[in-house]
Structure 1
Amino acid sequence: MARKIKIPNERLKRFAREEQKRKKNIRNKRKYYLIVCEGEATEPNYFEGLKQDLPKGVLTAYQIDIAGTGRNTQSLVDEALRLKEAYEKSTTRQVDKLWVVFDKDSFSPQDFNAAIQRCGNTDIGCAWSNEAFELWYLLHFQYYENAMSRRDFKGLIENSLKPVLGETFRYEKNSEQMYALLKEHGSQEDAIRNGKRLSSKYGQRQDYANHNPCTEVWVLVEELMKLK
């Protein structure tokens, strides 16, 4: 029988202290992403799905928090800045990247354009959509460039998924399954490519409320997928 080697308690305690210090150092070095969404469920559910799909090493190196607020345009930007300040004050850690996610919907062109321009002036990432976040879903299946209303998205999403999920499929706006469905039956690479194509269509124009359809969600998704 092999002889058991007894490790002194003091050495075990030192190992434990060193391991605890190592883990603390890793936590302190983590980059912090804060993603603040207009919707309280639709967008947070999608980004939570994406977050959980990132490699484990990424989630060790980056802390990614997602908040759904029920705010919109300018008030959403205000809330995002408030959350950033509150986090940094309570933890003494810096928020490395702040993103907001919101839609045009029925908000005035002035409010919509001003919120986007404000983000650009304050280095806040802005994943806006005109008219709605669901355009990002549709781009997983094909390219769209004809203007559409938010009332159109439900039927178009259902038509895209019924061939694989059956005629009984109905799109539920706050579904927790959309990221998984899009990953399995759509193409994120196509969605990013289609999003870039839409963005380039409008060039440097800053009348964002007239960019229909268009979404900048691809910028945030691509950035998250490239994290190392």
Structure 2
Amino acid sequence: MKARSRVAVVVRSKRTFLILCEGQTEADYFLAFSNDRVAVTAHDLGCAGKSLVDCALHYRESGSFDEVWCVYDLDYNASEGGDQFQRFQESLDHAAAHGIFVAYSMDAFELWFRLHYEAVTGALHRAQLYADLGQRWNMNYVTEGKHRSFTRLVKARLDDDPAADVALAIERARRLYEARKDLPLRERNPVTTVYLLVERLLGGWEG
């Protein structure tokens, strides 16, 4: 009797990501990356900087995750003075010292959305980003862009928009970061490292 051949079945486990965010927009955007290869747990905690990193350390103890990320902005407020930059750098150092990844943006997370459409070189305030996205999406981003009915679908909107390209957004963000990473924080706007997290979610960990 001919021996039956055996077919090897390879079962790949999902890569698990814990992503703690400053706002709901970010959390809903990253949750939409969940698929058969990636399991995303994302929370909007309403805090940033060292406080968010400390929350990540606490959350990490309560579960098993392959990667833990914090997502927050440097929301510069002139009335608070230059200490903001020092505190921001301390939060990045604190995260690195404890194995927490950070995807940060200056001045706002929405810079990442804008980069899907075009390269950005000059400093931008969040109000300018909101106005640009509102025009592209035919909406008032300030009043409508933070509603859950919108934030839950923002990734799908970008994926379905022929004018938007995530691969180009990654490349534009990378070039922006490489050009500005050695500048003092106060001079880095615009910059975002969100592309690093998106690359991982899109399978960069498989290489």
Question: Normalising to structure 1: TM-score of the pair?
Answer: 0.73
Instruction: Tell me if structure 1 keeps the 8 A contact 2:30–2:40.
Output: no
Q: Does 1:217 align with 2:194?
A: yes
Deviation at 1:103, TM superposition (A): 0.4
SS at match of 1:50: coil
Instruction: Tell me if structure 2 keeps the 8 A contact 1:103–1:133.
Output: yes
Structure 1 equivalent of residue 18 of structure 2: 34
Deviation at 1:120, TM superposition (A): 2.3
Alpha-carbon separation, structure 2, partners of 1:126 and 1:177: 24
Instruction: Tell me if structure 2 keeps the 8 A contact 1:35–1:67.
Output: yes
Deviation at 1:85, TM superposition (A): 1.2
Deviation at 1:49, TM superposition (A): 1.8
Unaligned 5+ runs, structure 2? 1-10, 78-83
SS at match of 1:221: helix
Mark the structure with the bigger radius of gyration.
Answer: 1
Residues 9-62 of structure 1 deviation map (CA, whole Å, 9 limit, x = unaligned): xxxxxxxxxxxxxxxxx79x65432111111x11011111222xx3x2x04xxx
Q: Does 1:189 align with 2:172?
A: no
Alignment of 1:13-24 (within 5 A): none
Instruction: Tell me if structure 2 keeps the 8 A contact 1:129–1:217.
Output: yes
SS at match of 1:123: coil
Deviation at 1:159, TM superposition (A): 2.7
- Equivalenced residues, count: 181
AA at the equivalent of 1:158: G
Instruction: Tell me if structure 2 keeps the 8 A contact 1:38–1:72.
Output: yes
Residues 154-179 of structure 1 deviation map (CA, whole Å, 9 limit, x = unaligned): 111123334xxxxxx33213422211
Cα 1:120–1:210 change in 2 (3 A) is farther
Match 1:157 to one of 122, 128, 133:
133
Instruction: Tell me if structure 1 keeps the 8 A contact 2:19–2:43.
Output: yes
Structure 1 equivalent of residue 68 of structure 2: 98
Unaligned 5+ runs, structure 1? 1-25, 88-93, 163-168
Deviation at 1:123, TM superposition (A): 2.1
Cα RMSD between the aligned structures? 2.0
AA at the equivalent of 1:213: P
SS at match of 1:160: helix
Identity, in percent, stands at 29
Structure 1 equivalent of residue 146 of structure 2: 173
Alpha-carbon separation, structure 2, partners of 1:160 and 1:200: 27
Match 1:45 to one of 7, 28, 31:
28
Larger helix share, 1 or 2: 1
Alpha-carbon separation, structure 2, partners of 1:199 and 1:145: 11
Question: Normalising to structure 2: TM-score of the pair?
Answer: 0.80
SS at match of 2:159: helix
